[in-house]
Amino acid sequence: MWLLLVEDETRLATSLKMGLEEEGYVVDIASDGMEGEAMAMGSAYDALIVDWRLPQQDGKTVVEHVRAAGQNVPILMLTALDDVEHRVAGLDAGADDYLPKPFKFEELLARLRALLRRPPLNTQQDVIQVGGLELHTKQRLATLQGDKLELRTKEYALLEDFARHPNEIISRTVMAERVWGDAFYVTDNVIDVTISGLRHKLAEAMESHPDGEPLRIETVRGVGYRLVTE
Ligand code: CA
């Protein structure tokens, strides 16, 4: 697994690189936002670890540019700014997960493993249909009434999990396990933010097709969520 670490604090970057290499990862370091963006665009990394505060341009901008270029590489953001606003802004920019500083190295490893986990190939159906929703699981592409949904990595994964279990309640713990790969480190907040993004995109797509079959994500208070078709 080949990682790009975009971090300007030399000591932290060096120690993370050493730790990650001991775990078998191959790690490149970029020490500012411009260099990080150029390296991310130029190579097929398996994952990016991007600090928020960087010289030249901040980590959020790097993530936005990488996503705007159409890359779905998994991205973990690091930041000393542990508040909900930044967390949401980081996820909105296109990061898949978020780790507040200071963190334990084991936690970084756990998040990384979760991000890098891929669904097993050839074990599941290629196209899933629920109402007007169609998922092409190999391409990780979702359409609603034929219109392509622009989804972030985890939004797609969540929608696919819902579509495999229509009208069934899925608890947050199961969601964390199946979509993020780790029930322990995923906060309810990250799940809620992802759900709300997905809801918004589904609602938007349905507005353009008022005659299409209704589809919505329902909150089952105290239990979880379900994809409801009528
Ligand atoms: Ca920094």
Q: What is the pLDDT of residue 22?
A: 92
> What separation in Å is there between the alpha carbon of 23 and the centre of ligand 1?
23
How many angstroms is it from 77 CA to the middle of ligand 1? 11
Q: Can you give the pLDDT at residue 59?
A: 95
Question: Ligand 1 center to residue 85 CA distance, Å?
Answer: 18
| Residue 109 identity (one-letter amino acid) | L
CB atoms within 10 A of CB 124: 12
Compute the distance from residue 26 Cα to the ligand 1 centre, in Å.
21
Give the residue carrying structure tokens 């199946």: 178
CA of 20 to the centre of ligand 1 (A): 18
CA of 75 to the centre of ligand 1 (A): 16
Distance 8 CA to ligand 1 centre (A): 5
Contact 206, 133 (CB under 8 A): no
79 Cα to the center of ligand 1, angstroms: 8
* Average pLDDT over every residue of 114-139: 74
- Measured CA to CA, the distance from residue 6 to residue 26 in angstroms comes to 14
CB-proximal residues (5 Å) to ion ligand 1: 8, 51, 53
Q: Which residues, 6 or more positions from 76, have their beta carbon under 8 angstroms from its beta carbon?
A: 47, 48, 49, 50, 95, 96, 97, 98, 99, 108, 111, 112, 115
Q: 70: burial class by Cβ within 10 Å (0-12, 13-18, 19+)?
A: exposed
Residue 120 confidence class, pLDDT cut points 50, 70, 90: very low
pLDDT at 82: 65
- Ligand 1 center from residue 38 Cα (angstroms): 18
Average pLDDT over residues 119-146: 78
* Å from CA of 51 to ligand 1 middle: 6
Q: Cα(119) to centroid of ligand 1, in Å?
A: 33
Q: Which two tokens stand for residue 161?
A: 């999990």
Q: Region 23-34: what's the mean pLDDT?
A: 93
* Least reliable range by pLDDT among 16-20, 93-97, 195-199: 93-97
Q: How far is the CA of 45 from the centre of ligand 1 (A)?
A: 21
Contact between residue 97 and residue 76 where contact means Cβ atoms under 8 Å apart: yes
Average pLDDT over residues 62-91: 83
The full 3-state SS of 94-155, as one line of letters, equals: CCCEEEECCCCHHHHHHHHHHHHCCCCCCCCCCEEEECCEEEECCCCEEEECCEECCCCHHH
How many distinct helices (H) and strands (E) make up the chain? 8, 12
CA of 1 to the centre of ligand 1 (A): 24
Distance 62 CA to ligand 1 centre (A): 13
pLDDT reported for residue 176: 84
